[in-house]
Homo-oligomer: A and B are copies of this chain.
Amino acid sequence: MLRVNKLTDYAVVVLCDLLRGQALRSAADLSASSGVPLPTVSKILKQLTKAEILQSVRGANGGYGFARRPEVISMTEVIESLEGPIAVTGCVEDSGECCALTDQCPMSGHWNAVNTAIRQSLNDVRLIDMLPESRFMEPTDLVGSIVARHTLALQAQEGEPNR
């Protein structure tokens, strides 16, 4: 049904959890507060880190935090980091394979239309759009406050507001 992985689902839960709270939270901590079992949370966090959505700090008092300001993170990135490039079929370019009927296939690459359509719309949904505003203050202040808290807490280290 055009489903997103369960892991991706969890990822958003965890990320939202991380969005309000200390800048650095351990996997165990996030597991407890989100209800997702530790090994699973761990797996997710590792992948998000590799995708440079999160950053990690090892050792005692270590944990995970956002690698950049959360409001620049789109759902495309979150989804792609958990399940690889968005490619509705094998026939979409840069996804290697083509379907078994390559030769006679009447529409080489036309799935791209569908694909880019989806990707496009996903780009417009940001991670913070998944947050229930109710738990914060006025929507208008929402972004500002999160950013403030996190960018402060993210003990400097960089900026790269890429994209």
* A contact residues vs B (CB 8 Å cutoff): 1-4, 6, 9-10, 12-13, 16-17, 34-36, 75, 79, 83-91, 95, 99-101, 104-108, 110-111, 113-114, 117-118, 120-122, 124-125, 129-132, 135
Contacts and interface: CB of A to CB of B under 8 A. Distances in A.
Contacts of A6: 99
A94 B129 CA distance: 21
- Tell me whether chain A's interface is mostly helix, strand or loop, or mixed: loop
Contacts of A84: 1
A156 to B, nearest CB: 28
Q: What is the count of identical protomers in the complex?
A: 2
Contact of A107 (B3, B13, B86): B13
Contact of A122 (B35, B107, B117): B117
Contacts of A85: 1
A4 B107 contact: no
B2 A83 contact: yes
